Chain A
Amino acid sequence: MPKTPKTTRNRIIVICIVLLCVTMVTLYVREGDNGPLHKVQNFFLDLVSPLSNGFSKIFRPIKEGFVNLFHLPSLSKQKKELEKEVASLRRQMLEATERDAENTELKRLLKWTEDNTEQPVGADIIGQSPDNWQRLMIINKGSSQGLKKYMSVITDEGLVGRLISVGSHSSVVQLLTDSRSAIGARDVRTRETGILEGNNTGELRFTPMNEEADVKEGDIIETSGMGGTVPPGKIIGKVTDVQNRAKGLSRLMQVTPYVSFSKLDKVVVLVTPEPESIILKESQ
C-alpha cells in the first residue's frame, strides 16, 4: 500500500516527540542544579505559582467546609479530649517555664553561648504536588528572599519538611511524609537517635540507631541535627505504635507528626548560613 503524506507526517511527529523527550531527559540528568533546563523549570514554577495560589485560596475553604461536615459527629468527643489536653498542657507549661528560667540561669553561670543563627522567613503555601508519588508543597518565597536548598520549614506545631528546589520567588518543600524524606531524629525522653522516614501516608517511621533503644508509645520525637540539613531540637511528633518483630529485624516505630499537613496554610523557613545535605554532597 502506498504511503500517504498524512502517514509520513504522523511518523515524523511521533519521531520528533520521542527525540525531544530523550534529549530533554538526557540534558536534564547530565546538567547540574544550575543548568539551563533546571532554570527553565524554576522559572515556570515561579510563573504558575500565583495561579496555583489563587485557585487554592478559592478551593481550600470549600474543601475544609466539606471535611468539617464529615467530622461533625466526632467534634463533641474531640472537644472533651482537647479540654483535658489543654489542662494537662497548662500544667506542663508552668513546669517548663520554671525549668527554662533555671536553664537560662545555669547557662549564664557556665557562660554558655548558643549558636542560634536561624532567621525565620514567613511564607504562604501556594500549591501542592501535581502527582500521586510525591508529598510536596510550593511556597511563595524563593532565592530572592535568601532561601536556599535544604533549609528547614516549620510551623508552630513542629517540623514540616525541607526545601528541595528553590526558584527566585517560589520554592518546593519536601514534606516529612514524602517517601523520599529521611532526617536525623531523636527521642526527647531517652535521647536515642535514629532516622525518621516518610512513606507517603500521614505517618512516619522511626528507626533508632540502637536496636535495643528504649522507645515507648507517647514519647516525643524531635530533630537530632544529624545529617546537616535540619537544625536540632525541632519537635516532629509522637510515637503512636511500637511493634516488636522477629529477631534480626528492626522494630517498627510509628510516629504521628504534630503538623496537620492537609491544613497547612502558612509556614516559616529557617534561613541558616549554609544548609547542605552531607549525604547527597558525598554521593555526588
Chain B
Amino acid sequence: MSRNRQIFIGVLVVLAFVLQISVLPQLKIFGVMPDLILVLAIVVAVQEGPVPGAIVGFLGGLLQDLASPQVLGVGAFSKAVVAFLAGTMKDFFMTYTILLPVLLVFFLGMLEMSLHQVALIVLGQEQIPPFSITTIVYASLYDVLVVFLLYPVLKRFRFPLKEESLTIAKPGPGPG
C-alpha cells in the first residue's frame, strides 16, 4: 500500500469517526444507525488485506470507545477481529465485485455486534444492553447501504505505488 493511500485511509478513519458522532445519530431509521467505522474497516480489509483492515478497525473502534462511556478497548477489539476475519475470508469467495463487501459487511456486522455484547458479558459488566436480533439485523442492513457509498470511493482512490504505475504505463513488447 502506498504512503498516499495510507494517509487517505487515515483521513477517512477520522472523517468516519466525526460523522459517526455527529451526523449519523441524526439519520436513525427504526432507531438504528449505521456503523461507518466498521464498514470502513471491512472495506479496507477486502481491498488491502486483513492487517490494514484490523488496524483501521482498532483505531476507529478506539476512537468510538473514547467518545462513549463504555469499556475502553471492547469496540476496538471487536472491530479489529471482524476486519481481520473479513480480510482473511475474502479469498474464499469467487467474486471481486461489490457483492463481496456487501455480504461480508452484512454477516460480519452481525458478528461484530454479537462479539461486542459477549465481551461485555464476559467482563461482567453490570449494565449490559439487551441482545436484540431486530436491532442487529436492521443495523447490518443499514451498514450494507453505506458499502455502496464507501466501496467505490476507496476503489477509485487507490494511489498505486511507483512501480505499479510504471508497469501499467509501459506494457511489454507484443508478439511480433
Give the interface of A toward B (CB within 8 A).
10, 13-14, 17-18, 20-25, 28-29, 37, 40-41, 44-45, 48, 51-52, 54-56, 59-60, 62-63, 127-134, 136, 164-165, 172, 178-180, 199-201, 280, 283
Contacts and interface: CB of A to CB of B under 8 A. Distances in A.
B165 interface: no
B80 A21 contact: yes
A134 B68 contact: yes
20 contacts: A14-B51, A14-B84, A17-B55, A28-B72, A45-B66, A51-B18, A51-B21, A55-B21, A59-B22, A130-B21, A130-B24, A131-B64, A132-B113, A132-B135, A134-B129, A199-B130, A200-B31, A200-B130, A200-B132, A200-B135
Contacts of B51: 10, 13-14
Interface residues of B, number: 48
A44 B68 CA distance: 9
B73 A25 contact: yes
A179 B113 CA distance: 16
A48 B67 contact: yes
Contacts of A13: 51, 54-55
Contacts of B80: 17-18, 21
B67 A24 contact: no
Nearest to B20: A130
Please give me the 8 A-B residue pairs with the lowest Cβ-Cβ distance, nearest first. A55-B22, A24-B73, A128-B25, A21-B77, A133-B129, A165-B69, A180-B127, A44-B66
B18 A24 contact: no
The main secondary structure of chain B at its interface with chain A is: helix
B22 A52 contact: yes
Contacts of B116: 133
A207 to B, nearest CB: 16
Contacts of A54: 22
B133 interface: no
Contact of A17 (B23, B58, B66): B58
Contacts of B24: 130
A17 B54 contact: yes
A232 B96 CA distance: 61
Contacts of A63: 26-27
B74 interface: yes
Interface of B: 18, 20-27, 31-33, 35, 50-51, 54-55, 58, 64-77, 80, 84, 113, 116-117, 119, 123-124, 126-130, 132, 135, 139
A34 to B, nearest CB: 14
Contacts of B129: 133-134, 178-180, 200
Contact of B32 (A51, A128, A132, A179): A132
Contacts of B23: 55, 59
Contacts of B35: 131-132
Contacts of A48: 21, 67
B21 A136 contact: no
B70 to A, nearest CB: 8
Contact of B73 (A28, A128, A130, A131): A28
Contacts of A200: 31, 129-130, 132, 135
Given A40-B66, A130-B64, A179-B130, 6 more contacts: A25-B73, A45-B66, A60-B26, A127-B25, A134-B129, A136-B69
Given A29-B71, A37-B72, A52 B123 contact: no
Given A17-B54, A21-B58, A130-B21, A56 B126 contact: no
A29 B123 contact: yes
Contacts of B66: 40-41, 44-45
A283 B127 CA distance: 12
Contacts of A56: 22, 25-26
Contacts of B54: 13-14, 17
A239 B128 CA distance: 26
Contacts of A199: 130
Given A29-B123, A200-B130, A129 B68 contact: yes
A165 B31 CA distance: 23
B130 to A, nearest CB: 5
Given A17-B55, A283-B126, A45 B32 contact: no
Contacts of B32: 132
A132 B139 contact: yes
